[in-house]
Structure 1
Amino acid sequence: MQRIIVWLASVIIVTLIFGSIYVTFQQFGRRAVNAAPAAAAAVRVQQPGSGPTAVPPLELTADSGVFVMVFGTDNKPTSSTVALHGELPVIPAGVLETARSLGSDTVTWQPEPGLRMAVVARQAPGGVVVAGQSLTPFEDSDRMSQLFLGAGWLGSMVVLAAAYGSMALIRRRQDIVHSAVLKEGPHEQDPA
């Protein structure tokens, strides 16, 4: 029974270690995705005016780089470097209101299925600046981390199971040898 408890404790500890490593990588990676949009939003906030952009907006896709949108006090977009199906995208009003009341907001925005963006909204004079980028590269990297950590965890479980099986086999052999010695009885010693 003691061996089973030790083995289960080992399994739980190894699982917690691999789980903690994954959560740490995932959180660091997800927060890092916000760095470029945060920098773009900070630059746009410092620029005077919020007039329309001179270049036509690019289509928002899973491969989109960093984009910037400016929303007025009515929560309608006044300018944008991206479009969604030819229209200026609309961010949920709650994100814009949070940015106005707290100074900024950081969220994952899904304008349509299969299109997820890391978005940073910052309060600006006369509105809110929203910058973002696609989460697709991060999510692809996250899947690779899951695969590697899952393989490491599975390998650890195989090693623990083999160690447990080996210990049980050794213990069984020791018990057989011990019981055989007891059955033989005491050995007579030759008189010297």
Structure 2
Amino acid sequence: MRVYAASLELYPEAFRERYGAEMLDTASREYAAAKRPLRFAVVLMGDTAMSVFRENLRATPVRPVMLAGFVMFFSFLLLGVALFGQQRLRRGADQAPEALTAQVAAQPDSAAARLGWPRHEISSPEWLSSSSSFLALYDASGKVWAANAEFEGALPQPPKGIFATIRARGMYKVTWQPEHGVRVALAGRSLPDGGFVLAGQSLIPGEARTDSFYRFLLELWAVMLLYTGVLVLSRWWQASRRTV
């Protein structure tokens, strides 16, 4: 809300004096009542950016300082959206492995039906480009003894340090990269018998979606810069004609 209050300074002075206090009060009440405050904040910043731009278009003459402020504000807004989107997409890759390990930890017997053949080869392009999850069971020392996946012909064996962290926390999520080009969102839990269950999903599809999201934001930023530049030039041309 402090960022939002500061962003009100980007509005034209007459608009800010007439509506600023009311806008801040309304936003504060809606933010306090929001069930998902972060999502509300992102939407509020997006609406504010468009509103600032619209109101400054209406104001005459267009002040270069205000346009520069808008460009900076919109740029930082897109940066915040990019970071938020990256975290959101990364957490999406953890959901299936987390759910799978939670089910096995609650019902250890349910793992048997998932550990048969055929096994996934997690270094294969087919698995890396899919949304399939694998499941693996480990003894109390962290040694794998059953899995429905392989890595280069052997059962998947991540670093033993992962299991010490799982034992300390009960549950752990980490990115496992056994070799270049193989990136796995790994989730693990302790089992009642002292062993461990791990499940993993390829990060490649999620990273492709992240790259596409970044390209969209970059294109949006470029359009904003182009439009602002055209606006400045058109107003400068109009002012020069009036002067002549």
**If the length of structure 1 is used for normalisation, what is the TM-score?**
0.81
Once the two structures are TM-superposed, the CA of residue 168 in structure 1 deviates from its matched residue by: 2.8
Q: Give the aligned partner of residue 55 of structure 1.
A: 117
Name the CA distance, whole Å, in 2 between partners of 1:151 and 1:75.
47
Identify if the C-alpha distance between structure 1 residues 158 and 54 changes in structure 2 by more than 3 Å, giving closer, same or farther. Answer: closer
User: 2:173 touches 2:186 (CA, 8 Å); kept in 1?
Assistant: yes
Helix, strand or coil for the counterpart of 1:43? helix
Gaps of 5+ in 1: 178-192
Task: Find the partner of 1:124 among 172, 191, 195.
Answer: 191
Structure with the largest fraction of strand: 1
C-alpha offsets along residues 128-163 of structure 1, whole Å, 9 cap, x if unaligned?
211111111111211211121111111011011111
Q: Give the aligned partner of residue 59 of structure 2.
A: none
User: 1:50 touches 1:78 (CA, 8 Å); kept in 2?
Assistant: no
Once the two structures are TM-superposed, the CA of residue 19 in structure 1 deviates from its matched residue by: 1.7
User: 1:53 touches 1:79 (CA, 8 Å); kept in 2?
Assistant: yes
Name the CA distance, whole Å, in 2 between partners of 1:35 and 1:50.
18
Q: Give the aligned partner of residue 222 of structure 2.
A: 154
Name the CA distance, whole Å, in 2 between partners of 1:144 and 1:105.
28
Name the CA distance, whole Å, in 2 between partners of 1:7 and 1:53.
60
Q: Give the aligned partner of residue 24 of structure 1.
A: 84
Structure with more contact order per residue of length (Cα contacts < 8 Å, sep ≥ 6): 1
Once the two structures are TM-superposed, the CA of residue 94 in structure 1 deviates from its matched residue by: 2.6
Helix, strand or coil for the counterpart of 1:161? helix
Name the CA distance, whole Å, in 2 between partners of 1:48 and 1:171.
78
Name the CA distance, whole Å, in 2 between partners of 1:124 and 1:140.
34
Q: Give the aligned partner of residue 143 of structure 1.
A: 211
C-alpha offsets along residues 53-89 of structure 1, whole Å, 9 cap, x if unaligned?
4435321131351001112121211211111110112
Amino acid in the other structure paired with 2:145: T
Helix, strand or coil for the counterpart of 1:34? helix
**If the length of structure 2 is used for normalisation, what is the TM-score?**
0.65
Once the two structures are TM-superposed, the CA of residue 4 in structure 1 deviates from its matched residue by: 4.3
Name the CA distance, whole Å, in 2 between partners of 1:44 and 1:56.
20
- Could you say which structure has the larger radius of gyration? 1
Helix, strand or coil for the counterpart of 1:111? strand
Name the CA distance, whole Å, in 1 between partners of 2:195 and 2:235.
68
Name the CA distance, whole Å, in 1 between partners of 2:219 and 2:118.
46
Name the CA distance, whole Å, in 2 between partners of 1:149 and 1:86.
41
User: 2:75 touches 2:221 (CA, 8 Å); kept in 1?
Assistant: yes
Q: How does 1:158-169 map to 2 (within 5 A)?
A: 158-169=226-237
Q: Percent identity, aligned pairs only?
A: 29
Q: Give the aligned partner of residue 171 of structure 2.
A: 104
Amino acid in the other structure paired with 1:128: F
Name the CA distance, whole Å, in 1 between partners of 2:175 and 2:235.
49
Amino acid in the other structure paired with 1:172: S
Helix, strand or coil for the counterpart of 2:185? strand
Q: Give the aligned partner of residue 99 of structure 2.
A: 39
Helix, strand or coil for the counterpart of 2:71? helix
Helix, strand or coil for the counterpart of 2:233? helix
User: 1:50 touches 1:79 (CA, 8 Å); kept in 2?
Assistant: no
Q: Give the aligned partner of residue 160 of structure 2.
A: 93
Q: How does 1:78-89 map to 2 (within 5 A)?
A: 78-89=145-156
Q: Give the aligned partner of residue 40 of structure 2.
A: none
> How many pairs does the alignment contain?
175
